Copies of this chain bind each other. A is one copy, B any other.
Amino acid sequence: MNYLVTGGAGFIGSHLCNRLLKNGDCVVCVDNLQRGDETNIRGCIKNAKFKFYKVDATDQESMEAIMRDQKTDMVYHLAANTDLWESMKDPELEHHCTFLTTQSILNAMRNTGVKKLFFSSTSVIYGEQKGSPFTEADELHPITYYGSAKMASEAYIYSFSYMNDIDALIYRFSNIIGDKMTHGVIRDFIFKLKNDPTHLDVRGNGYQTKPYLYVDELLSAILMIGKDFNGVEIYNVGATSCTNVRFIAEAVIKEMGLEGIPINYEDKEMGYKGDIVKYEYNVDKINKRGWHSIMSSDETVLRTVKELVREFGN
């Protein structure tokens, strides 16, 4: 099989490239290296079945040429903006990196006849709801530019799928963490404490509570279905349990050997405008397809804290 992975030098993308190569498949990695990093695919480069193109996925002409030349069977479209702070100030960034990449990929698939697409959507798409756990049939009310760009991408996938007989598998990721991650609260805390180990300032009151899933578990969910999907199939993928920010703050401080330092919380629920402060995730649908998470959200956080402190903490 010939796979094309956009955002393939990024956090989740590079893990995916590795796993596909391990299965013996051919992998073309496309990344503009804006958020992705060549060191993430160092291990892949030696493999004769791996090719890397430094291309922005919005460059539709190049994407078409790559799909044609490399005889792409299926696209894993993971390219997106990952810096939510930046896009809050500049929605154009999100529009370009998260939405226009999808539009370009869909047009390129339409023009070259590629019929299988995996798309990485997000729990953020549900936005402000009357209540969670979120299920796939819930209304979509994104409140960040990131969530909107993902919802707009899903919107385009529907008609491109229907009009061109493209099958699309959409996973709405909850918070995915692990080795190589480029952003998020665990990294933030580690870098804050490296900078000033006397105390930790936390955005919000620390009761923000979300389900954290380890990246390897997400990859198992992706590879489990493989190419076995038809029309547009949408699944929530995430942990069933949740972890709050206070737990994370204490875990990072402990792992860095800084027990006892003061943690300063703010007197407000929301760490930043657009944050979904608390949510749970209904993953019954993907469970029925045969995938179940293994680690609890707390276990996932503890493992990732250990790994990231080892990598960055000293």
Residues on A lying within 8 angstroms of B by beta carbon are 88, 91-92, 95, 99, 103, 107, 110, 127-128, 137, 139-145, 147-149, 151-152, 155-156, 158-160, 162-163, 232, 273-274
Contact = CB atoms under 8 A, between A and B. Distances in A.
Contacts of A273: 163
Nearest to A60: B92
Interface residue SS majority, chain A: helix
A110 B155 CA distance: 23
Contacts of A160: 91, 145, 148
A155 B159 CA distance: 15
A148 B158 contact: yes
Within the oligomer, what is the number of copies of this chain? 2
Contact of A142 (B92, B139, B158): B158
A131 to B, nearest CB: 14
14 contacts: A91-B159, A91-B160, A137-B139, A140-B140, A141-B232, A142-B155, A142-B158, A143-B163, A144-B163, A145-B159, A147-B159, A148-B156, A159-B274, A163-B273
Contact of A159 (B144, B156, B162): B144
Contacts of A152: 99, 151-152, 155-156
A155 B149 CA distance: 7
